[in-house]
Structure 1
């Protein structure tokens, strides 16, 4: 029996970045599993990253509802467009904040709770109540961030008596940048109250990592399911391996996501082996903090550095398949243990060796071990990291640098959609 699900999401094509891909891909495959999606999105959103290539992936036979949104970031952009886009991407540099940036963070954290899209909640509830009178659905799904969208789902659940699934692509109050929002005590408490209320009133919660599930289980008895992000099977990519010993990072690199241990180790190897210094290429694709670039240059690796701005998703996939090594970096902080970057799953599909750095207990480590796709290091594993890089470099020179992965198909978008569809049928 077909189930009709209303999906409330802020990020939708032409938005770029990882936030748009999760539900775009679910929607793409839902009908194979007897789920009919109805998608609700803002009519005039402010997206910090745009990727028109995603538009072609929207199924032509789905219903899309739109309603205008008043975007505070549009007005903030009049003061500083660069700073506004930086903050909205999550790139917050505590050490180099201007007065304007500090002011925007304070206003964002204390006047827009839980986030800058809170003003879309009330008009959305009114609009959807009218719309659903003639377009009945079996359940409501909200996905955040922005977590204000969960408030839309909570009100519709109450007023229309419909089952509600809350999907958390990232944590709420334990996300790494939450503490940087300069929250007053009252604002911090309000965030916690909202988070707890959403977690307790939802009929089903979905998270993207085991650690987030553990954290949320302390706040609610609502059923919680882990459905990670994933990768799209691409049959039209024909890898052309980089001729350099390339270490590629795809996606934003924040100021505090700075693996100085890696730059140090690479610098040591380069000083000990001139051929390595010539072969090495650090390929950073996407938004990169100036702090990261300075650290690399300070380590004497300026000639190896190649910064590439934002590219289309298709171009990013090609770069992943062509790289000799793929790099994942998370901050060395306990609250990032739950973060599994979307790029990790696309890295799995590229089947190139992965080097990951992050905090002890990171959920990334378990995935790498399960799939035999790479090695995870903490920021204290300097000797082990150096040893692995030397091993990989020798294999590169010998023409044998490769890996044999295991069960990565469990993370394909189609298989994950099968799991989400089963959950929807059960909850609705």
Structure 2
């Protein structure tokens, strides 16, 4: 009995010691990364790339992105994958420094792969310290454990490949630390590409602790000031909502490059022919939370209360990873066809085979938030009903393109659904999109803008 107690106590002590050692190792690594950043970036004078570009004459870019295919698109892989694809076609030499998925549920082997023309270097994915995947107590995020290996690998690639500039994509924001540190050490221009805000983010990568938010804002401001150009996915009028530093000097080097659609993703997908026997409404993609789901469901319930005979002719098509919301909702007012999580191509097909596309955002989203899928919905050509704030970027986009309408109040959405349904029954067009305006959001057009932005940091023959 005593021997058993001894071994149990010894094992418990060893576990506690391991936790203490791991904690000390984590603190040490955080300190090393912060010191590296402070020494090579924060304490250095911001380079004057805006006025006098460095003498770099080669279109050769090193892209630093923790996530890339075959990681699932939920990790934000599509934007950088499409950008690199078209940069290569424009004559750029693209080198990608990234990691490999270590878990099966991180992979999507059906997704678009990287073109062979991209030189890809993969580092082992370090273990994430937070069960929340990037929302722990580290600065800027739980991916700091790849910063020093990434800097070391990036320096080697700069020498071996003749790199002219570095492009970092975020989140995760540790990509930007690695990029800024390496760019400073190698005297190269650095361009951060923000898919989402950093210290001002209020969705997904939320920084809850005020102290950490202030420290992140400090790092963000320094990186912005040391950047040759700054790319954001929002319209320029929202710079003050997006960046921690929106001074006039910073605004002069901020470029808006939204997300978009790739025309080649639609190759070989036939257009639906003829009128469907049921009014088919689709929602494809993630559901942010219960409020987002309620915004979808409640207007149909209101419609059903007044016109139950209509709903017998309505089919709701869902494709995404959040079927649980439908399963837990009880009796639904419509017939449901739930595809679950599907490939990108299957998602496009689901949208194209519907009469109305739904888009939904919760009320706490700030006006500047787009969500990348709205641009692909534009290209699909099926009318869009966006359940979102009417003073936001999505509403403005739909109004500018003529692709749909935005409304938030459930009662108003129910009226619009009924109106679209009646037009569908009469065989009338629900919307008339402006193709010329929509085409401005093609990935190729946007990549051209990125290429021009990168070229501004170089001296080309």
**TM-score bucket (shorter structure):** 0.7 to 0.9
| Separation of aligned partners in 1, 2:307 and 2:160 | 70
Check 1:289–1:190 CA distance in 2 against 1; reply closer, same or farther (3 A cut): farther
| Separation of aligned partners in 1, 2:81 and 2:209 | 36
- Which moves more between the two structures, 23-32 or 262-271? 262-271
Query: TM-score normalised to the size of structure 2?
Result: 0.78
- Which moves more between the two structures, 223-232 or 268-277? 268-277
CA-to-aligned-CA distance 1:367-414 (integer Å, 9 cap, x gap): 111110000113x3x443233211210122223344321121101111
| Residue of 229, 233, 251 corresponding to 2:285 | 251
| Separation of aligned partners in 2, 1:128 and 1:345 | 33
Aligned residues: 390
Does 2:221 align with 1:196?
A: yes
Superposed, 1:230-309 pairs within 5 Å as 230-233=260-263, 234-240=266-272, 243-258=277-292, 260-288=294-322, 290=324, 294=328, 296-297=329-330, 300-301=331-332, 303-309=334-340
CA-to-aligned-CA distance 1:343-383 (integer Å, 9 cap, x gap): 111111110110112235321111111110000113x3x44
Does 2:336 align with 1:310?
A: no
- Which moves more between the two structures, 130-139 or 187-196? 187-196
Q: Which runs of 5+ in 2 are unaligned?
A: 1-56
Match of 1:13 in 2: 69
| Residue of 126, 145, 160 corresponding to 1:119 | 145
CA-to-aligned-CA distance 1:312-332 (integer Å, 9 cap, x gap): 111001011111111111120
Name the larger-Rg structure. Answer: 2
Query: TM-score normalised to the size of structure 1?
Result: 0.84
Check 1:60–1:404 CA distance in 2 against 1; reply closer, same or farther (3 A cut): same
Q: Which structure shows the bigger proportion of residues in helix conformation?
A: 1
Superposed, 1:5-404 pairs within 5 Å as 5-17=61-73, 19-45=76-102, 49-56=106-113, 58-72=114-128, 87-88=132-133, 109-177=135-203, 183-210=208-235, 212-215=238-241, 216=243, 218-220=245-247, 221-222=249-250, 223-233=253-263, 234-240=266-272, 243-258=277-292, 260-288=294-322, 290=324, 294=328, 296-297=329-330, 300-301=331-332, 303-333=334-364, 335-378=365-408, 380=409, 382-404=410-432
Give the drift of 1:31: 3.0
| Separation of aligned partners in 2, 1:47 and 1:401 | 44
Q: Which runs of 5+ in 1 are unaligned?
A: 77-83, 89-107
Kept in 1: contact 2:64–2:98 (CA 8 A)? yes
CA-to-aligned-CA distance 1:186-239 (integer Å, 9 cap, x gap): 222222222222222222110111265233274453311110111111231113
| Separation of aligned partners in 2, 1:179 and 1:145 | 8
| Separation of aligned partners in 1, 2:446 and 2:403 | 19
- Which moves more between the two structures, 186-195 or 149-158? 186-195
| Separation of aligned partners in 2, 1:401 and 1:341 | 26
Check 1:313–1:179 CA distance in 2 against 1; reply closer, same or farther (3 A cut): closer
Check 1:343–1:69 CA distance in 2 against 1; reply closer, same or farther (3 A cut): same
Check 1:146–1:179 CA distance in 2 against 1; reply closer, same or farther (3 A cut): closer
Kept in 2: contact 1:254–1:289 (CA 8 A)? no
